[in-house]
Structure 1
Amino acid sequence: MLEKNIKTPLYEQIEIELKRLINDGKYKQGTLIASESELCREFGASRITIRRAVSDLVDQGYLVKKQGKGTFVQANIVERNLLHLGSYSNFMKNSGKHPSVQIVKLQEIASTDKIAELLNIFPGEPVINLKRLVKFNKAVSGLESAYYSSNKFPKLREKITPDISMTSLLSTQYGYKELGSNQLLSYVPATSELAQYMNKVPGDPLFKLRRQVMDKEVIYVTFNYYDASTTNFAITSGNQRKE
């Protein structure tokens, strides 16, 4: 039920509820959602409010309108091979998709005990934290949060631009080449910060992929977050091209 006595606008409350129905599987991907008049009755809201909520979800990539047919849940599942996980943006490009990247945070901070252990440095040493959103068709499809040792990569922060390939930058400017990685995949609820970045609701399920990227030593570590409702991970054996 909608709460009219709280600060959250009615259309945002409807968006949150429709996202929950999609994530819970009531509205499955590729299926037709209820009509505008049915949604008005279900939520007790005006057509203008329903149209605003549906329009926002179309812009976010949750829904798609098909002329003369209605509004459908976006069927945009990304499937990745667990045995050949590489850069997410490179994977999207190799799949024939053309993602855009948006830097949401770029700062130098003191490394925590956890980050220091993963980078094989001392706690408190300075690191560059780069957070980037990866978008496809205007919808957020992933969030990357990477950490680089400031001592190992001097002046790295000044060299980072929205359209730059970090793999290429580290190779051409610093002589490091990615030869492999240690990876850990887990299933986590979205924190308030992650939910805000990824247009989700706190508690929504996400995949979290930790990658410790190696040359002869640790180059950097990254935490990648994916929407669990639009991402599948599979194990495919045989000769497979690396992503």
Structure 2
Amino acid sequence: MREISYKSPLYIQLREVIRSKIEEEEYLPGTAIPSENQLMETYGLNRVSVRSALAALEFEGLLKSVKGKGVFVAGPKAKRNMDTLGGFHNTMRQSGGNTATRILSKTLRQAGPYYARLLEISPESTIWFIRRVENTAGEPVALEELYIPYSVVPGLEEVDIKLFSIYDIYQWNGIVLGEGHQTLRITRLPPMLAKHMDVPPEQAVMELSCTTRDRGGRVVEFSRSYVRNDKAEFVVHFRHTNPQLV
């Protein structure tokens, strides 16, 4: 068992002890770790140090606190490659497991100036607006918003988007995706959306925005995904192209 010394802040040492136990699978995903009182007694720490260590690991997404039940090891995060096209719905489908989609909205609306600029259409054009929550193991992971020109998929009202991916629908309509421009930032959700994501409004989430074009250069979609950092992570693949940088 790793010991606690006095060479660095005590809560940092306890944080790393618990992290090691998770990485070495002594604490398995979905199981409860020792209680605050047990950790205080085992490592000779006060409650402030123990709570600080647990809060830091929960912020990283390694632990999940459940009121009245204890602190549990979080399960593996869903991974999303940022160098490939495809929303979180597609990512969750491909990853398998116990996943489900909850549709919050699927409506036709006018583009307006802002989305007209993003979609490169007139402000009076009709677009599809879709808002949905992606769940895994019964918990929300991402809230996704899609803005699609009606002319791109005019038959979308007949398709059950809980069962089929938007990318399946594109394929059925002969749309071949070409390229996308993605941005990632940290933000906070308005209270209504935070409630759908089961997070407090003050908790930061990742926001991924993407403008997608087909092979002909036409904008076919603008998407915005709000992702819980304790449930998912983004992966970027790269390699050096300039040998002088190696």
* Match of residue 168 from structure 2: 168
Once residues 210 and 36 of structure 1 are traced to their aligned partners in structure 2, the CA distance between those partners, rounded to angstroms, is 43
Match status 1:196 vs 2:192: no
Any gaps of 5 or more consecutive residues in structure 2? 1-14, 23-28, 40-46, 48-62, 240-246
Partner AA of 1:78 in structure 2: A
Partner AA of 1:208 in structure 2: E
Shift of 1:116: 0.9
Query: SS of 1:121's equivalent?
Result: coil
The answer (yes or no) to whether the contact 2:80–2:88 under 8 Å persists in 1 is no
1:118-159 C-alpha deviation (Å, 9 max, x unpaired): 111111322110111111000011111101112343242233
* Match of residue 229 from structure 2: 228
Once residues 223 and 112 of structure 1 are traced to their aligned partners in structure 2, the CA distance between those partners, rounded to angstroms, is 17
Partner AA of 1:222 in structure 2: S
CA RMSD of aligned residues (A): 3.1
Q: What TM-score do the two structures reach when normalised by structure 2?
A: 0.65
Taking a change above 3 Å as real, the CA distance of residues 94 and 171 of structure 1, as seen in their structure-2 partners, is closer
* Match of residue 119 from structure 2: 119
Partner AA of 1:214 in structure 2: R
* Match of residue 88 from structure 2: 88
Any gaps of 5 or more consecutive residues in structure 1? 1-24, 43-60, 65-69, 239-243
Query: SS of 1:104's equivalent?
Result: strand
* Match of residue 135 from structure 1: 135
Once residues 211 and 152 of structure 1 are traced to their aligned partners in structure 2, the CA distance between those partners, rounded to angstroms, is 17
The answer (yes or no) to whether the contact 2:140–2:198 under 8 Å persists in 1 is yes
Once residues 161 and 232 of structure 2 are traced to their aligned partners in structure 1, the CA distance between those partners, rounded to angstroms, is 27
Once residues 75 and 169 of structure 2 are traced to their aligned partners in structure 1, the CA distance between those partners, rounded to angstroms, is 34
Structure 1 residue ranges, 4+ long, deviating more than 4 angstroms after superposition? 27-31, 35-38, 61-64
Matched pairs, number: 186
Shift of 1:33: 6.2
Query: Equivalent pairs: percent with the same residue?
Result: 20
Partner AA of 1:231 in structure 2: A
Which has the larger Rg? Answer: 2
* Match of residue 79 from structure 1: 79
Taking a change above 3 Å as real, the CA distance of residues 160 and 119 of structure 1, as seen in their structure-2 partners, is farther
Once residues 125 and 213 of structure 1 are traced to their aligned partners in structure 2, the CA distance between those partners, rounded to angstroms, is 18
Partner AA of 1:177 in structure 2: V
1:31-72 C-alpha deviation (Å, 9 max, x unpaired): 72636999xxx9xxxxxxxxxxxxxxxxxx9468xxxxx751
Taking a change above 3 Å as real, the CA distance of residues 169 and 79 of structure 1, as seen in their structure-2 partners, is closer
Q: What TM-score do the two structures reach when normalised by structure 1?
A: 0.66
